[in-house]
Amino acid sequence: MKTSRSLSIALFVVLAFFQNSSLVGCTSSESRPRSDKPNIIIIITDDQPYHTLQYMPNVQSELVEKGVNFTNAYVTTPLCCPSRASILTGQYVHNHGVKTNRAPEGGATAFDDRSTLAVWLHDAGYRTGLLGKYLNGYHDLPEGYIPPGWDDWQAFVKRDPDLGFYYNYTLNENGRIVEYGRDEKDFSTDLLADRAVQFIRDSSDQPFFLVFSVFAPHETYQSANRHKDLFKSLDEFERYRPPNFFEDDLTDKPAWATQIKKPDVDYVDKVYERILRSLKSVDDSVAEITSTLDKMKIRENTLIIFMSDNGMSLGNNGVFGKNCPYDACLRVPFVVSYPPITSVPRMDEHLVLNIDIAPTLIELAGVNQSTQIDGQSFLPILSDPTAQWRDGFLIEHFQDLADVEESGLAFLIPGYIGFRTTHWKYVEYDTGERELYDLLADPFELENIASQTEYAQTIKELSEQIQVILR
């Protein structure tokens, strides 16, 4: 991996020259005739709780009502960088090797970027672009570094510790580092939305692949000024209070669940309001993007995926954050809109994963590649909800020991591996502790039944499923 990284970096200077010269005809939008291949847009939010999708009216009208809303969509590892690497490769974390957000076990320096969706689609004639967040630790790579396969690269590099990537951040704009301040025009979600529109317009004569990857609604939960007064008076009905909200009895849970710091409920309520405000600008950007596609008359030939890189627990099972094996951390909003197939909107309960995106898109684009892929294309169930599909999947978490202060729950939660079906969720920790939930009888994961002898056979079967995948 170090050798491949060195080769990629060595090529960067040469590629940067060609990207800015007339010699790069093979990647210029003016040099390729328009093909019938579909355009592809992935919109990725950061740490968006699954249920907040209902507060995004443009996503509802432009994507949900014109697509398939997968209500049982999950990430296989509930953490930003491992999940994003899975999106780009279609691989489980134990295969692509980006285990955490930070080096040496994770982050951008641990990622082999030679074989990704960007490379595969670029080689197939697509104009490729990434706007916004790439991988955690991207700032640890050489300044100006652009991973292989990307034609338009405008990625976050450094962020303000108090503001995140909303204000006072830097972008790598195709090899040039540019600083942004605190003016309203610098608010990153809006700025990136404008550039997404420009990218689409610039790609009018060739198929394109765009990753629009905003920082919202990640901590520090900033919103645009026009939204700063919204959601400040949520009544009791609107407050987030699922049955497992700050679960009272944690005696059946593993030790870490009783040791983590629990925030004040009022604080969680305020964070929830800020998350909803932060998502409003993302919702506006969806309207801008779809309106541009309509005006250019290419909406019919564009597949859009809206998703989050992981879920976010807002007090579910006593957890405030991510990394946990509970559904609040694993489950993500996941909407797919592609007019030739999704003309009739529907809710779909199939178990769809972040590792399914890569195989779906390369099948859609007619790309052949030999890299190992763990996910499977969901094109069959997109058009036919009765098509055969998986009945379970692997979940995994690797403890982040690199930086105790920065790692948070990634450090506090021991490593675990598990298997989830529509009926069961089973988790094995590095500590030897186990969790088992009957999701049909206990969808909020309140009663851990792993110690009850009558479920020994169920545990054996689920553990065997894990080993099948790990072989």
The one-character DSSP state at 142 is P
Backbone angles phi, psi at 240, to 5 degrees: -80, 110
Is residue 31 within 8 Å of 25, Cβ to Cβ?
yes
| Residue closest to 269 by CA, chosen among 310, 235, 305 | 235
233-250: b or e for each residue (b if 16 or more CB lie within 10 Å)?
A: eeeeeeebeeebbbbeeb
145-182: b or e for each residue (b if 16 or more CB lie within 10 Å)?
A: bbbbbbbbbbbbbebbeeebbbbbbbbbebbeeeebee
SS3 of residue 356 by DSSP: helix
Pull the structure tokens for residue 384: 């036919």
| Residue closest to 416 by CA, chosen among 426, 428, 403, 406 | 428
Q: Which residues are catalytic?
A: 80
| Residue closest to 352 by CA, chosen among 46, 99, 69 | 69
Neighbours of 306 (CB within 10 A): 27
In angstroms and rounded to an integer, the radius of gyration of the C-alpha atoms of the chain is 22
| CA quadruple 318, 324, 325, 329: dihedral sign | positive
DSSP assignment of 258-271, as one string? Answer: HHSPPPPHHHHHHH
HSE at residue 384, side-chain half, CA atoms within 13 A, is 6
Longest CA–CA separation in the chain, Å:
70
